Structures are given as structure tokens and as C-alpha cells.
Structure 1
Amino acid sequence: MNKLFGYVQTYEEAILMVHASRLGYITPITQRLKVEERGNLRSGDIFVFVETDNGIKRWTDGKIWSPSKINGQFLLYKEVPRHLSKSAIKKRSLQKDQLVKLQKEIKEEDKLGLHKKTISIVHEDKTYHVIAYYRPIFSKETLINIPFFNRIDYSLRKYPELISDQFLMNEIKKKNFM
């Protein structure tokens, strides 16, 4: 499984993920997660995939999520435990005091439960998707604090031509790598 560990806080950090993928530092996901990989998702897991005609078009992880909320350029989701999902609650006929107890459980899950943050970024006719899982209480350490991403950020700011795929292809041709 090709994943990173950290927390994507800003749009700029998501862009760094895309450029790290483009430059070959991160290998994007090319197939859906296997059942055991879905079961092992945890706070801090970050995935990148490139949308293609014969590859992944839509991310699935087997979890139940709340409706999305927009936060800047990101979509945010909260995991809904199976026993608290709307369909599970409908199956049980609950008394009013049981509903109050369930609402307290749901609020507690919001603080401690897994969240998903997604963004789609189009660069040179390709759509890159960044998917990050986190628990709000552990979301302090951002990618820019990781030396690897700090160096990529520095390089892209110092040499903006690295952002162009055409520049990279020309450099590769000059060096006779092809």
C-alpha cells in the first residue's frame, strides 16, 4: 500500500503531495484498497491517486461517513460507527431516553472518531486526489514540518519551473534518459 503518514492541514500542503507524486517521490495508489487494508486505516494515513480512464475514479474505503462539509478547498467527513448509522438506528425502535444517550455517544465520537479530508487538484490535464485520515485530537503535526516536504516546498519556491511537466520532460530528454 502506497501511503504516507502525517496531517494535511492546508491547500499548499496538498499541492506539495501532488508535486511529490508528479516528481516520483510518492507512488500514487493505482488500485482500490484491499479488505485488510481498509480495516487497517488509521489517523495519519494519507493517500494520493491520479484519476485515469482505466484506474480509480472514486475513492472507497468501506467505512460509513457523514455527509461532506466544505472547509476551504477540502471536503471533510466524519466516520459514523455502524451501530450509530441512520439505518441501524431505524432498525431499532428507541425510547426517548435511549435517543438522548445515543446523541451523547455521537458527540463523543465526533471528538475521538476518525475523520477524512479530501481534495481534488487538477494539474496539466490530470486530476490528483489527496485523501487524509485523522482524529482531530492528533491533527497538530502538519506535513510542512516534515523535513522531506519542507525541502520539496523550498525547491518548488526557489525553482518554480519544476512545477511544469514540460520542463521535466525536456530535462529528461537532455540527459538521454529515454
Structure 2
Amino acid sequence: MVQAPFTVSSIAGAAMQRPTFSSIRIRSPTDAHIIFYAVVSRMLPMVAHRLDIRERRFIQSGSVFVWEERSQLSEPSGSEIERWTDGRRWGPSRVRDEFLYYEEKLPEVNEDEELSSLMLSTRLIKKTYSVYVRTRTGSRKWHLVAYYTEQTLDQLLTIDDFPELAALRHHIPEGLFTTARLTRCRTRAEHGVDDGYTRSGGPPMLTLSSPDSSPSPTAITPPSSAHVLPRLKPEPWPLPSQTSSDTDIANNNQAQQTTSRRVRVPAQKLAPLVYLRSIPFPPRHPLDKDALRSFDGGVV
């Protein structure tokens, strides 16, 4: 049993959020549970709020995000999100092996078969998985969102490529995670209702042991194991920094050199112009609007 999750905001203030993990594919619910438990164990961060425009640039093949759904039935921890938004258009969901799959909607270019084939092969696919986590403050609903493309799926790393993560497989307490879809199927079956994967209003009732004292929402109980869980080295996101300082550039180069032996990333291709033209412009920041209006006042 654990307390409220560890979050980036609890230690970094308003720092830019990065993916929970990068350059990895989630093959099964077991892989998802390992990522969840790594978040519980403070090895990986959780997304604490909706991604802004800058943070959405980290969405690419191999990016994995873990976030907590806001619920009216549980004590707030300060890191809940009402719903996941990534600024992209998605088709209807498909269910397979307790995962939901969404394909990115792209503009139609039927007149150019070669361009259409290229766009389909590089189209993002979103894979989601949800669980209820047993905590001392009640049951909380966590979500995992993984992105990949058909072209790069076989080139992404797996849990087995990271010994620190693979070692967690045998340390996850039984009953800590309950698949949200399975729980909802049972609830609807008891009421004689066919299952359709819809957004639930709150977590199910779980049997929780009574703690001796009320824990802090941002604290976390270390795993009940004699083994000390190591921290991931190098950091799981060898992504480019948004600053131009020499220190950040040096750190990025070192991280890329460390992971280049294992990550087989294909040559980056520019997105087709017809696709870029179809993407709506992001809304202008209110401060930018005020600045533009100040110039209008000086025109005679």
C-alpha cells in the first residue's frame, strides 16, 4: 500500500514537464505495471498537469506519460488531471488486450500515393492503459499514455533493455494495481449492462487498511522490500533541451552518447508540407495580444 504519488511539481516547481519515460514500447499490462511501480518508487516522474505547447513537443514515438485522473471521491493530491489533451486529432478507439488504441487523423492526399503511404507509416498511434492504485488515502485512478508509429515500433527499446526496470517485475505488491477496464466490466456485468469503455465517474470501493496516522499527500511510502531500488542511469529521456546554455548542451550530448549504443533511431524525416499546413496555429498568449495592441495605439 502506498501514499500519494511522487510528482515533478513537488520538487521542481514550474519546471517543464518531460515524459515519464522515452524511447520505449509498452508490450503488455505487465510492462505498464512496472512503469506505474517505478513512479510509485520515485524512480520515474508523474505528469502533474496538462501539457502546454512547449511540453507537447516531447510527444513522439517512444514517449510514455503517466498521470492521475481527478476524482470527486478521493482526497486531492495536487497532481490530478481532469482529462488528457495533447493537441492532436484522433480517430475512434479500438480495444485490444486491455489497451485502447487511437490512430492520429491526417489530411487526405489521395492524389499522391507515395506521400499518402509515407504519412500513414509515420502517423502516431496512441496506446492507453488505466489502473486503480491502492493508497492510504483511498483508491486513485492512474493512466498510462504511450505513443509510437508503425515505422519505429520494432526499433524502440523494451523493459528488458533496462535492468533497473526489469528488476521491479518481482517486487510489485499483489493487489497494488487493479485494471480499470476489468473492474468496470465486472461492475457493469453485475447490473446486466453491456460493457462499452466509457470514462468512469470515480474509482471502485477497495478494502484499505487503516493507517496509524494521516500521511502527507505528497509523501510516499518506500516499497516493502529488503532490496534497495536503484535510480535509472542515464536519465530515461535523452531529449533536446529548450535552453541554449553550454551546460545543457553538454549534458544532452553526454546522454545521447550513452544511449546511442542501444537506441536505433532512424533518420528523421521532415513532415510533408500538406500536413504542416493542416495543423492549426496555437492560440496567441494574452501577453502577446497586449503587446500588439500597444503598437496600435501609436498609429496616426
> Which TM-score tier does this pair reach, normalised by the shorter chain?
0.7 to 0.9
Q: How far 1:39 sits from its partner (Å)?
A: 3.3
Distance 2:55 2:223 in 1: 37
Q: How far 1:161 sits from its partner (Å)?
A: 6.3
Matched, 1:117 2:132: no
**Which residue pairs with 1:126 in the alignment?**
140
Distance 2:110 2:222 in 1: 64
Q: How far 1:51 sits from its partner (Å)?
A: 1.6
**Which residue pairs with 1:29 in the alignment?**
47
**Which residue pairs with 1:144 in the alignment?**
160
Counterpart of 1:32 in 2: which secondary structure?
coil
TM-score (norm 2): 0.45
Q: In proportion to residue count, which structure has more strand?
A: 1
Q: How far 1:126 sits from its partner (Å)?
A: 1.2
Counterpart of 2:171 in 1: which secondary structure?
helix
Distance 2:169 2:145 in 1: 19
What amino acid is the match of 2:119?
E
Q: In proportion to residue count, which structure has more helix?
A: 1
Q: Is the 8 A contact 1:78 1:110 kept in 2?
A: no
Indicate the structure (1 or 2) with the bigger Cα radius of gyration: 2
Q: How far 1:21 sits from its partner (Å)?
A: 1.3
Distance 2:61 2:222 in 1: 39
User: Which of 63, 66, 70 lines up with 1:48 in the alignment?
Assistant: 66
What amino acid is the match of 1:109?
M
Q: How far 1:128 sits from its partner (Å)?
A: 0.9
Distance 1:58 1:104 in 2: 36
Q: Is the 8 A contact 1:121 1:129 kept in 2?
A: yes
**Which residue pairs with 1:59 in the alignment?**
84
Q: Is the 8 A contact 1:66 1:80 kept in 2?
A: yes
Paired residue total? 154
Residue ranges of structure 1 left out of the alignment (5+ in a row):
85-98, 173-178
Inter-CA distance 74–68: structure 2 relative to 1 (3 Å threshold): same
Distance 1:26 1:171 in 2: 14
Inter-CA distance 171–127: structure 2 relative to 1 (3 Å threshold): closer
**Which residue pairs with 2:34 in the alignment?**
16
Distance 1:35 1:28 in 2: 18
Q: Is the 8 A contact 2:25 2:153 kept in 1?
A: yes
Distance 1:146 1:31 in 2: 27
**Which residue pairs with 1:176 in the alignment?**
none
Q: Is the 8 A contact 1:42 1:133 kept in 2?
A: yes
Matched, 1:68 2:93: yes
Distance 2:124 2:222 in 1: 43
RCO (CA 8 Å, sep 6+): is it higher in 1 or 2? 1
The Cα offsets for residues 42-75 of structure 1, whole Å up to 9 and x where unpaired, read as: 1111000112346202110000111111111111
What amino acid is the match of 1:139?
L
Q: How far 1:102 sits from its partner (Å)?
A: 6.8
Q: Is the 8 A contact 1:2 1:28 kept in 2?
A: no
Counterpart of 1:152 in 2: which secondary structure?
helix
**CA RMSD after TM alignment:** 3.0
Q: How far 1:144 sits from its partner (Å)?
A: 3.2
